[in-house]
Amino acid sequence: MPMIRHLGLKAYGKINLGLDVLKKREDGYHEVRMIMQTVGLYDKIDLYLKETPGITVETNLYYLPVNENNLVYKAAKLLMDEFHINHGVTIHLKKFIPVSAGMAGGSSDAAAVLFGVNKMFNLGLSMEALMERGVKIGADVPYCVMRGTALSEGIGEILTPLPPIPQCQVLIAKPGISVSTKFVYEHLDAASLRPSDHPDIDGMIAAIRERDIYGAASLLGNVLETVTIPEYPVIAEIKDRLKSLGAVNALMSGSGPTVFGIFTSPKAAEEAYEEMRYGKSANLAKSVYLTNFYNTKEVSHGK
Ligand code: ATP
């Protein structure tokens, strides 16, 4: 079979509808229980075959690494080393998912490159095989290979697919602050959490299985807010504003600082977007996006 010379890939971001931390393990990782949901906001990745060996990364964001510290580089190297590939690849990465925002942008880029390299060089790896390799790059990478709605356990690598949630609008607002994931996990004091700080993950799974969007939305919860909100009150302000603008509910995603609001009315979502982006609330968030839940398995951006 002839090798593919170019692939255009979409790497979708995620939000956490639920995020609970069970404990810190001996090896330093945290054991989590999370409800993951892919959203329609994506990075574009173009993968080009090179005749000469080596991996070249180019990106539109000057501050991202273009060496082995970029997760797309790691993903390509992992497969190309394992399969002793003599050719090289050039990876063009165009970022749209906010960076260091709790939306797993880097992990999703890595997942797309695993998928792309597998296809470009006809490696014949199944989705499960890509997921097994993905966890070596990052705990969220296996989920980003799988996508859709899922329960994520262990350090993030034990995944149970859930049925898709009825379509909704998702308004994403990222304040102009940076929150380090490491800082958040290090400052989470699992021992002093109250029972009400933990989201009801089982209740949310039941609501999702019943396709009950209002039930699921009422149970949104993220234990990491106990660290970030006292430190960055703007996160709570954005949540409140999204709710007052018609969101059924709102939550911080991952370790933040991104906040998302779920809307069941497209009109209300559009108006809230306008208000957050251009209205009196525009001072709260630096970046605002209107998107939706994304549950199909398409990966190509069709260039
Ligand atoms: P998570 O939700 O998994 O915590 P995140 O949204 O907090 O992820 P990312 O944007 O995935 O964070 O990654 C941010 C960090 O990773 C930055 O330090 C950045 O330099 C580095 N990085 C490496 N590769 C990438 C990439 N392809 N895209 C974004 N960041 C990358």
Tens of pLDDT, residue by residue over 283-297, are 999 999 999 999 876
| Nearby residues of 149 by Cβ (< 8 Å), 6 or more positions away | 35, 36, 37, 38, 161, 162, 163, 164, 165, 208, 293, 295
Q: Which of 237, 286, 242, 278 is nearest to 260 (CA)?
A: 242
In this structure, the number of other CB atoms found within 10 A of the CB of residue 83 comes to 14
Q: SS3 for 275?
A: helix
- Structure confidence at residue 39 (pLDDT): 97
CA separation, residue 230 to residues 15, 188, 227, 251, 298 (Å): 21, 12, 6, 15, 39
**150 is an annotated ligand-binding site residue:** no
- Give per-residue pLDDT as tens, 246-271: 999 999 999 999 999 999 999 999 99
Q: How far apart are CA 42 and CA 298, in angstroms?
A: 12
Query: At the topology level of CATH, where does 6-161 sit?
Result: Ribosomal Protein S5; domain 2 (3.30.230)
Cα dihedral 204, 178, 66, 44, rounded to 10, equals 50
> Looking at the DSSP assignment, which residues form a beta bridge with residue 249?
262
Q: What is the mean pLDDT of residues 84-102?
A: 96
- For residues 115 and 112, what is the distance between their CA atoms, to the nearest angstrom? 5
Q: How far, in Å, is the centroid of ligand 1 from the Cα of 104?
A: 7
pLDDT attached to residue 28: 84
* pLDDT of 67 higher than 60: yes
Find the 243 Cα to ligand 1 centroid distance in Å: 28
Nearest-angstrom CA–CA distance, 102 and 11: 15
Instruction: Supply φ then ψ for residue 240, to 5 degrees.
Output: -60, -40
| Average pLDDT estimate for 99-108 | 95
Which residue's CA is the nearest one to ligand 1's atom 8? Answer: 104
Pick left, alpha or beta for residue 100 (phi over 0 → left; psi -120 to 50 → alpha; otherwise beta): left
Among all chains, which residue has been given the structure tokens 């954005």? 238
Strand order in the sheet with 249-252: 249-252, 259-263, 169-174, 287-292
The domain segmentation of the chain, as residue ranges, is 6-161, 169-292
Q: Which residues line ligand 1 (CB under 6 A)?
A: 64-65, 69-72, 93, 99-107, 109, 140, 181, 254-255
pLDDT at 148: 95
Catalytic positions, please?
14, 140
User: Whole-number mean pLDDT of the chain?
Assistant: 94
Question: Is the model's pLDDT at 302 over the cut of 60?
Answer: no
Whether residue 192 is annotated as binding a ligand: the answer is: no
User: For residue 303, what pLDDT is reported?
Assistant: 42
Q: Determine the pLDDT at residue 176.
A: 95
Domain 169-292: which CATH number of 3.40.50.150, 1.10.510.10, 3.30.530.20, 3.30.70.890: 3.30.70.890
Q: What is the pTM of this model?
A: 0.95
